[in-house]
Amino acid sequence: MATDLFARLDSNINATRWRSLQLYNGYRVLVALLFTVLQGLFSRENVLQDVSGDLFSTLVLAYFIFSIVSAMFTWLEKPDIDISLPTQIIIDIGFIVLLMHAQDGSQSSIGVLLIIAIASASLISVGRLALFYAAIASIGVLLEQLYRNTFIDNAYSNFTPAVLLSLGCFATAWLAYSLAKRSQQSELLASQRGLDVQNMAQINALITHEMDDGVLVVDHEFKIKHHNIQAEVMLGNSLKTEDIAENNAENNKEQGIWLAKTLNEVSPELHSLLQTWMQETEHTLDFAAPNILKLNTVSRELRIRFLPISENRQQGAVIFIEDWSHMQTQAHQVKLAALGRLTANIAHEIRNPLSAISHANQLLQEEDNDPAIKRMLQIISDNVQRVDQIIKDVLELNRRDRTNQEIIYLENFISDFYTQFCAVEKIPSDCFKLEITNADTLVAFDRRHLNQILWNLCKNGWRHSKKAENSLKLTVSISAKTQIVHIEISDDGEGIPESVRSHLFEPFFTTEKSGTGLGLYIARELADANGAKLQYKTSSSGTLFIIHLKKV
């Protein structure tokens, strides 16, 4: 993290230094151009007070050419900044000292350009070589003054202006160095703070995207500012879950398909609930007691909780979405796990007296011919079988993870199952239709589990069908694109009421008086244990269950 910080900081500093050097080159070009124009217009009136007109004109022309060439190289950012800057500044100092010599030495106003050059160079170099530039300028000024005193008759013998200019150069270099150092420290601190904020934002985004609950951040205009994948899935987004995950991964997990959309476009029910919450004025509102919202579009119950993003809830809110049906499913799974462990431990203790009751009941049925007594004994027999079936179903739940997958020729397996099921359940062949569209399909599945899933589904379908011709259908097909095998079990019954569909795979939920409510739940659990998926689909008539499994 520290390495990335310093690398990023160095990159920003270099970019800033190049921009600053480009600005300084623009300033140098303007100064050189000004000298050229003034030299051309006012040379006869001796405005620039040059000692040697030819020397000054030559220096001005050379300085102008040097300015243009330096500006071109600086614009191309060639060569490296640490080479370009010292080279240009040293040459710049040399030209300014020579221009001073061509005029009136250290008393010339051109010496002010040295102060500007040293200050600019010190700031661009972030304080580095600042005193070196001042030393070069001071040496040049003092040597120029010494040369005048030695070789020119009308030269001034007073070194005071040259010394003052040299001291000004050092003072400027020191101030620029101090300012650059403080600026660098401030930039480093700002970069550290910015990196901390960025890391914190990434951590927050990672947390929200990995949460099991959905999160939505809505502003005062009900526009979505942030959300996670779970929110899209829970609110019934049209995209599939894998498509949503791929879309968010491509957009750095920060961008989503809902950003800049309004909450009303995503979920009108949630928008209405948020509006009602925002209109509340009581400060004693208990946020821990969430509202329950039922979205009919996806047939699931969502637990909604609002938290204001500021003291004024009109400014927006953070919306937490919990899948209430999923929580109920988890509660059922915990209950089943506890029940399964309990039943596994006392199965023999329950079955031993149950077997004794069943045996005694059979003996009584053989001896007593009273119709009323036989009716009572039959009720005992039916309930003994029901209790025994419940024990078998619960014990089966404990074996869902004990899969023994093997390669199965699906067509042969389905054909054998069809024949066996029709014989055991005494179903006429014209009432149960079998369709297999592909041959030689191989799947990896536990043979016993697949048989139990098909048996449960077909038995339920036959029980609720009209028991006429083609009332029950078993179809096997394969998708050419995805290589997914689809096993469909459909019947022509009255279908499943809409109020029951959301509870279809819940354990212990049944509409039958003699049912245990574990058949469909066990079928789905066994399908999941083998990497398959059991799905219910609405049909124009009757019910339709589909098993999706991968082809080997």
DSSP secondary structure string for all residues of 207-267: HHHH-SSEEEEEETT-BEEEE-HHHHHHTT-SS-HHHHHHHHHHTTTT--TTTT-BHHHH-
Of 349, 372, 397, the one marking the end of a domain is 397
Q: For residue 245, what pLDDT is reported?
A: 45
Answer yes or no: do 73 and 129 share one domain: yes
Answer yes or no: do 31 and 116 share one domain: yes
Domain assignment of residue 55, yes or no: yes
Q: How confident is the prediction for the chain on average, in pLDDT? A: 76
Mind listing the pLDDT tens digit for each residue in 28-84? 889 888 888 877 675 554 444 444 557 778 888 888 888 888 888 888 878 887 788
User: Which amino acid is residue 503, in one-letter code?
Assistant: H
Average confidence (pLDDT) over 83-89: 85
Answer yes or no: do 33 and 153 share one domain: yes
Q: Does residue 285 have a pLDDT over 70?
A: no
Average confidence (pLDDT) over 461-471: 86
Domain assignment of residue 207, yes or no: no
Task: Tell me how far the alpha carbon of residue 323 is from its chain's centroid.
Answer: 20
Q: For residue 148, what pLDDT is reported?
A: 77
Domain assignment of residue 472, yes or no: yes
Q: What are phi and psi of 244, to 5 degrees?
A: -65, -45
Q: Does residue 504 have a pLDDT over 70?
A: yes
Domain assignment of residue 128, yes or no: yes
Q: Does residue 283 have a pLDDT over 70?
A: no
Query: Would you state the structure tokens that stand for residue 305, as one six-digit string?
Result: 């909780």
Specify the CATH number for the domain of residue 271: 3.30.450.20
Average confidence (pLDDT) over 266-289: 69
Contact 248, 239 (CB under 8 A): no
Answer yes or no: do 418 and 459 share one domain: yes
Average confidence (pLDDT) over 14-21: 79
Specify the CATH number for the domain of residue 457: 3.30.565.10
- 292 vs 12 pLDDT, higher one: 12
Q: Does residue 289 have a pLDDT over 50?
A: no
User: What are the CB-based long-range contacts (under 8 Å, 24+) for 325-331?
Assistant: 325/300, 325/301, 325/502, 327/303, 328/506, 329/506
Angle at 98 between CA 167 and CA 21, to 5 degrees: 70
Q: Does residue 401 have a pLDDT over 60?
A: no
Answer yes or no: do 174 and 47 share one domain: yes
Mind listing the pLDDT tens digit for each residue in 95-148? 888 888 777 544 457 888 888 888 888 888 766 788 888 888 888 888 888 887
Domain assignment of residue 439, yes or no: yes
Q: For residue 364, what pLDDT is reported?
A: 77
Domain assignment of residue 118, yes or no: yes
Q: What are phi and psi of 545, to 5 degrees?
A: -115, 140
Answer yes or no: do 387 and 422 share one domain: no
Q: Does residue 259 have a pLDDT over 50?
A: yes
Q: Does residue 243 have a pLDDT over 50?
A: no
Answer yes or no: do 358 and 438 share one domain: no
Structural domain boundaries enclosing 83: 2-190
Beta strands in 438-542 (DSSP E): 442-446, 472-478, 484-491, 533-537
The segment with the largest mean pLDDT, out of 253-262, 325-334, 535-544, is 535-544
> Which residues make Cβ contacts (< 8 Å) with residue 95, sequence separation at least 6?
59, 62, 63, 66
Share of the chain above pLDDT 70, in %: 76
Of 323, 347, 373, the one marking the end of a domain is 323
Domain assignment of residue 120, yes or no: yes
Specify the CATH number for the domain of residue 356: 1.10.287
How confident is residue 290, by pLDDT bands cut at 50, 70 and 90?
Answer: very low
The radius of gyration of the chain from alpha carbons, rounded to an integer in Å, stands at 44
Mind listing the pLDDT tens digit for each residue in 170-208? 888 888 888 877 877 787 787 778 778 878 877 877 777
Answer yes or no: do 217 and 174 share one domain: no
- Provide the 3-class DSSP secondary structure of residue 474: strand
Domain assignment of residue 203, yes or no: no
Mind listing the pLDDT tens digit for each residue in 506-537? 766 676 666 666 778 888 888 888 888 888 88
Q: How many domains does the chain have?
A: 4
Q: Does residue 167 have a pLDDT over 50?
A: yes
Answer yes or no: do 444 and 501 share one domain: yes
Segment among 200-204, 213-217, 240-244, 499-503 with least mean pLDDT: 240-244
Q: What is the 3-state secondary structure (H, E, C) of 26-59?
A: HHHHHHHHHHHHHHHHHCCCCCCCCCCHHHHHHH
What's the CA gap between 535 and 546, in Å, rounded? 5
Mind listing the pLDDT tens digit for each residue in 485-497? 889 998 888 887 7
Answer yes or no: do 362 and 468 share one domain: no
